[in-house]
Structure 1
Amino acid sequence: MNLIRYIDNEFFKEVGEISRFTARFFREVSKPKQEWEEFINQCFWIGYKTLSLVAVTGFIMGLVLTIQSRPTLVEFGAASLLPAMVSISLVREITPVVTSLICAGKIGSGIGAELGSMRVTEQIDAMEVSGTNPFKYLVVTRVLASTIMVPVLSVLAIAISLFGGYLGVNIRGEVSWTLFWYQAFDALSYGDLIPSLVKTFFFGFAIGIVGSYKGYYSQKGTEGVGRSATTAVIVASLVVFILDLIAVQVTDLLGLT
């Protein structure tokens, strides 16, 4: 009983601390003189350096989903619906969520480890002493960069995964380039595209906040740095799933599904 109470207390304490950290982010981002140079640098490292991993994963997702789905549709005589089914599945759910989970693993752990090492080596303390605002320079730039770049990576991953779907369709069958894309886009609507894009902004924001929080308050030397990176991945991935569940419920209530 005491263990359960301790876990509950730690959980709610963590939620409260992250909420305060998020509130501080909004206060800092509303102040003038943003660190645009560091923001652009973080966009490069978060976006460009993650692009190859996201591209390969997106291509494999589209190819595998198409190959695995084809036998079932052929059994029911609905092989012609394969491009439409693949496009809806990839655009609505699979590609945005998987891309965000990849970003949670790479970006979240990277931010956590980087800020954690700066904390334990007292670089953040030195910035405070020198009059620099470390929160604005380190946290705000990274959170903004992840909020913007995760949707961009998700859009690119969707395009690449659909191309993988096209190749998957033509492995066992023969569908022209024009016909595949016509069927794929004809099955989609704004109710599929807009919620899928909007929720990736929240995914990116959550990944940046969690990674920055874990790293910014890292403790206990090098052991704490490793723990910050690990817990950043776990918590960010969990938050992505929770936000996705909320997004599905909201789109369902709005009649967009």
Structure 2
Amino acid sequence: MKILAQLGDLFLAFCRYLGELAFLVGEVAESLWRGRLRWPQFYRQIAEIGFRSQPVVVITGAFTGAVLAAQALFQFKLVGMETLAGGLVSAAMLRELGPVITGLMLAGRVGSSMAAEIGTMRVTEQIDALRSMAVHPIDYLVTPRFLAMFVSIPLLLVQSVVCGILASYLIGVPLFHVEEADWWKNVRQYSSLADVSVALIKGGAFGLLIVIISCHQGLQASNGAVGVGKGTTRAMVYSSLAILVANFLLSMLMQLIFPLGIVTS
């Protein structure tokens, strides 16, 4: 019975946590509906989320595409199908690896930063000071980050995917001596607008999870520096787990809406 009681407590805590996230989403939606936009904060977050995240996203995407191409070519070379590696990398980067890797990198770099910054403001009573000046914390802290993420993540995702495909080309053509024309033919054949749509939908969903989970952890921070540290760690871990779970669910759903196939035209 004790184990059942503990499981019940965990389930109730999880439901309460989901309710708090849903409430935060509702507050952000209300802020957007009423047009409470803080443009200086928005521009600052564009630079922080988008511009400063480019190096880590580009490097991660490039080496992910390179290692995927290398491993595929090692296997395809045994059966004389090396030219298919380009199509494999392209489809994998668009539908799976590009969105997931980009999301995980942003969860680690941006999500933890959001939680730490907002959490520090929370424990030092700066959020209470905003309320005393008739400034809603959601309008000032969460909504600009929400909008900046949705502007930045598609561009970062495109950079990650393009760098991954180009890196795979550098592995396949110069090193494994695959015909360049055949390589790009298969990249075009196994890539379509449906794959791009899947990547953008996943990227948007992952961006939403990162912002909501990280800002929630920051707003709930307490107990001084220790609480801020724990909130920052939870923001990164919870965001990463949410991305992996959401990726599985979205992959199953997207396969029904945008089935994987060969582009014949």
User: Counterpart of 1:167 in 2: which secondary structure?
Assistant: helix
| Aligned partner of 2:126 among 119, 123, 126 | 123
How far apart, CA to CA, are the structure 2 residues paired with 1:99 and 1:256? 23
Deviates more, 1:180-189 or 1:92-101: 180-189
2-structure distance, mates of 1:128, 1:70: 59
Q: So what's the TM-score if we normalise by structure 2?
A: 0.92
Q: Structure 1 unaligned segments of length 5 or more: list them.
A: none
The 3-state SS of whatever aligns with 2:18 is: helix
The offset of 1:121, in angstroms, is 0.6
- Number of residue pairs aligned between Structure 1 and Structure 2: 257
State whether residues 62 and 168 of structure 1, in contact with CA within 8 Å, keep that contact through their aligned partners in structure 2: no
Question: Is 1:233 the equivalent of 2:232?
Answer: no
Distance 1:186 1:162 in 2: 14
Equivalent AA in structure 2 for residue 151 of structure 1: P
Q: Are 1:158 and 2:195 counterparts? A: no
Q: SS state of the match for residue 155, structure 1?
A: helix
Q: TM-score, structure 1 length as denominator?
A: 0.95
User: Aligned equivalents of 1:30 and 1:181: distance in 2?
Assistant: 45
Answering whether residue 40 of structure 2 is matched by residue 37 of structure 1, we say yes
Contact 1:99/1:154 (CA < 8 Å) preserved in 2? Answer: yes
Q: Counterpart of 1:27?
A: 30
What residue is the counterpart of 1:114 in the other structure? 117
Residue 232 (structure 1) shift? 0.6
CA distance in 1, matches of 2:178, 2:82: 11
> Are residue 67 (structure 1) and residue 78 (structure 2) matched?
no
Match of 1:10 in 2: 13
Which one of the candidate residues 194, 216, 237 is aligned to 2:219? Answer: 216
How many angstroms apart in 1 are the aligned matches of 2:163 and 2:49? 19
Write the letter of the residue equivalent to 1:112.
A
Question: Contact (CA 8 Å) 1:147, 1:202: kept in 2 or not?
Answer: no
Q: In structure 1, what is the equivalent of residue 193 of structure 2?
A: 190
Structure 2 runs not aligned, ≥5 long: 261-265
14-23 or 242-251, larger mean C-alpha shift: 242-251
Superposed, 1:45-84 pairs within 5 Å as 45-84=48-87
Q: Secondary structure at the match of 2:94?
A: helix
CA contact under 8 A between 1:95 and 1:154: conserved in structure 2?
A: yes
Q: Deviations over 1:203-249 (max 9, x none)?
A: 11111111111101211111110111111111111211222122112
Question: Sequence identity, in percent?
Answer: 28
